[in-house]
A and B are shown apart, each in its own frame.
Chain A
Amino acid sequence: MLKSVFYFVIFPGFLFTAVVGLLVSWIDRKVTARVQWRVGPPWWQNFADFVKLLGKETIIPQGTSRFHFITPPLLSISAITLVSTLLWVMLINPHKSFLGDLIVVVYLLMMPAMAVVMGGAASGNPLASMGASREMKLVLGYELPFVLALIVPIIKTDTIRLGEMIRFQAEDGVVIGSWSGIIAFLVAIVCMQAKLTLVPFDIPEAETEIMSGPYIEYSGPALAMFKLTRAMMLFVLPVFLVLVFWGGFGQGSFWSVLLGILKYVVLLVVIVLIRNTNPRLRIDQAMRFFWGLVTGVATLAIILALIGA
């Protein structure tokens, strides 16, 4: 019990994920700045932002319940911490895997988005409601192809245990070693971009249009929680994809761990590149894109996987 709490709070749970998450968001900010010919922030900028927000006062819109407004950020951060703990415990020791943990992780990954929607809805602000509605529609959009894409590794490795997926890929080659695997991986990357609500899918926030949408009324520690969740997701989601499609991070030797980190960095670079080279879509365009093209491609990947390609 105490060990689980330690896993959850210190390593590989909250503290570890938060620190790494804030660091990788700095990489994201720095690269983006360089692309735009700016200098960019120093490496500790995200930590400074977080601490500063913690010290600010909390402003709550009139007529809303404090409880409903304050809890969603906490739920979202707990959920993402739990995902990270589960993933890393399994990456370090695949035997800890339990039946159907893949499904648990998929559901838990949906929680931060739900928290944003609930928080936005609780603000009682029309712009936040608008953002919440968009966020929910975006979730509907990407969840279908995301699940479809995850079916391919299930077919390939014939299991829904993450631990066995790691072991299978270590022995019989990674999922993206096949055509169907590559296609499904690409689909999953696009869905990941939307899960992170980064450009071109930053529709719910759309700063220039609805002023951060669901976050508009948030301030102080509550906002800090939401920001931290997003930083952590930037770390956790690519790790999840690496685990499921790309054979995990390897164990033991220094080189295999380094290779694992490299895999993560590749995904991070892809995310940053997409985000810096695309304009924002409208919500109907995004949904049409996900339910049309992306779902079609994901189905193709499944068909390929079923015939063994």
Chain B
Amino acid sequence: MDLMLYPIVLPIAVGLLCLAMPRRVKGIVERTALIVSITIFGLTVFLFSQKPLHWMWDANRFLRLDNLSGFVLLAVGLFGFLIVLYSIVFMRDKIYSNIYYAYLLCTIGIASGIVLANDLVLLAVFWGLSGLTLYLMIGIAGAGASAAAKKALVIVGGADSLMILGIAIVWFLMGSFTIDRISLPVVGLLPVIAFLCLAIAAFAKVGAMPFHSWIPETAEKSSIAVTAFLPASLDKLLGIYLLARITMDLFIMDKTLGLLLMIVGSLTIVAAVMMALVQNDLKRLLGYLVVAGAGYMVLGLGTGTPAGIAGGLFYLLNSAIWTACLFLSAGAVEDRANTTDLERLGGWGPVMPITFVVCLVSGLAISGIPPFNGFVSKWMIYQGLIELGRGGDGLWFVWLVAAMFGSALTLACIIRLIHATFLGQVARMPDEVRDANSEVSPSMWLPMIVLAGLCVVFGVFAYAVPLKHLIIPAVPGVSYLGFWSPGLATLLIVVGVLAGVVIYFVGRASNVKESEAFIGGELLREGMRVSGVDFYRTIRDFGLFGNAYKGAERSLFDIYDLGGRFLFYFVQGLRRIHSGILPTYLSWMLVGFTVLLFVFMG
């Protein structure tokens, strides 16, 4: 068997085997999952080093590994392994853990299938299967999550059917399913429809607006490990991979469609972060940040300039890293505090130092603060937008401001998250937790540290490591990116901090005294705290925003609810016909027979 088949077949086979295992052998299943995921990760690294590869079947190139699919496959392998490692402890006392690992392994295999597929039908099959495992994995968390799972299935599955339509149109026009043989100019009605169908499938997967609503719902209701794995990292990778594939390979883009992508991207960024700003649940807040991240990538790909596309892809890799990291640290907090309600959290920083630092690093990375990786990828997207402006696009500054302001808003969300969870005034905390050093176990913080470390390495050595080996080979046309060397600036900041430490010691900072918080001579009582809920109340109370938020709370912008309402309205008519009276039905049948008779006899 060809080596390229292993990352697809092996995890699916083992996953199905795990499904059949009795609950008693949980330990074996856990270990098997860990071993398989490490193997797959190693295999993806090996395959990456061997690219380009392809696998023929019956004179058709069925599977292909090129520069674009190479780094996505690598990321799939890495995230699969890290999530399994994290889950070993996180999922230890859940009764459904066997099914969980089974689904998880299957998902890794299916995702590899999507990335490697060079045939549109094969792609569509794997795509559909990934929607199915998404549904199953979200629903695993129990009754509360089933509504969220249904929502995800309806939105992603609905978009999936559009994808099949798009593929059918492509086949109708080009007579081929083989991706690397197709190159369709997007001119005329049918190609545009085909492009939109495929783009919508990608949008639904990554959660670009208006197909976003399943992600915050999933984040809030489902298990954190599932969210960190699927909507936060894997679905992002797959969706943007598809979008990059269709914009770069399958179709020859024109300006109008690029404009459409940029509108979707900018709207997603600003609206999603504004929603994240006022969420009161840690997981839901992160869910909206995931949605906003999708906006940046769509925006970057929409520019159509090499720098913008490279920026979008780099952002993809980075965002998978930091959102997974944020979710994993949220999971660690949930594991200790038994809640993710921002109102009831607070003061966990000194108790969970590793989680706090990891969360802070990935939070600063997502906000695009130099020298982390977020800054570099955002900077590349900005660069792409400015190049676009030079090329004569009159609206470039709108996208630029949306992206830059969006990143300020993201920072605001992260600050609120950090304040409400790790800093600020201590909320109700179990006594046994307060006294002990209550960090989570190594198998949980190890994946988090790896991811946070990647945030730093990909930022400081952006050009030398990820861009050079992963991103730039995948984007044709990026020959040279005039580049800021974040290394020196980082070094200088470190020098600055060290100098500060010296000044501290000169100034007797070792001479430290502790005292109670001073609030102007008043007594500090139990309830006197600024919780995460009130942090941005001012914004919520603004007239214009207030109405928008109220609308969002009644899910006026949720395509799922809107579709549902429309459907029920439509069904009302049918319902009226169903009176339940037998003679009425019989007379309808009679009418029907008469019509049929006319049609076939006449």
Chain A interface (Cβ < 8 Å from any Cβ of B): 4-5, 8-9, 14, 53-66, 68, 70-71, 73-75, 77-79, 81-82, 85, 98-101, 103-104, 106-108, 110-111, 114, 117-118, 121-127, 129-130, 132-133, 136-137, 139-140, 143-144, 147-148, 151, 154-155, 158, 160, 211, 216-217, 220-222, 224-225, 283-284, 287-288, 302, 306
Contacts and interface: CB of A to CB of B under 8 A. Distances in A.
B347 A124 contact: yes
A135 B383 CA distance: 29
B538 A4 contact: no
B484 interface: yes
Interface residues of B, number: 75
Interface string B372-392: 000100010011001000100
A54 B508 CA distance: 7
B500 interface: yes
A211 B517 CA distance: 13
Given A77-B500, A160-B383, 4 more contacts: A59-B512, A61-B518, A124-B517, A287-B542
Contacts of A302: 397
B516 A62 contact: yes
A82 B418 contact: no
Nearest to A140: B412
Given A104-B484, A125-B517, A57 B500 contact: no
20 contacts: A4-B491, A5-B495, A58-B512, A59-B512, A61-B514, A61-B518, A65-B353, A75-B493, A77-B496, A79-B493, A82-B493, A85-B492, A104-B370, A104-B379, A125-B518, A127-B520, A132-B419, A137-B536, A160-B382, A220-B508
A117 B349 contact: no
B350 A287 contact: no
B492 A114 contact: no
Contacts of B503: 54, 221, 225
B386 A154 contact: yes
Contact of B530 (A126, A151, A211, A225): A126
B386 A74 contact: no
A126 B349 CA distance: 16
Interface in B503-537: 503-504, 506-509, 511-520, 524, 528-530, 534-536
Contact of A147 (B401, B425, B489): B401
Interface stretch (B98-106, B125-133, B252-260, B402-410): B402-410
A56 B379 CA distance: 42
Q: What are the 9 A-B residue pairs with the smallest beta carbon separation, nearest first?
A: A78-B496, A54-B507, A99-B482, A74-B500, A129-B530, A121-B423, A221-B507, A65-B350, A125-B517
Contacts of A117: 415, 419
Interface of B: 347, 349-350, 353, 356, 368-370, 375, 379, 382-383, 386, 390, 394, 397, 400-401, 404-405, 408-409, 411-412, 415-416, 418-419, 423-426, 481-485, 488-489, 491-493, 495-497, 499-501, 503-504, 506-509, 511-520, 524, 528-530, 534-536, 538-539, 541-542
A284 B513 contact: no
A62 B517 contact: yes
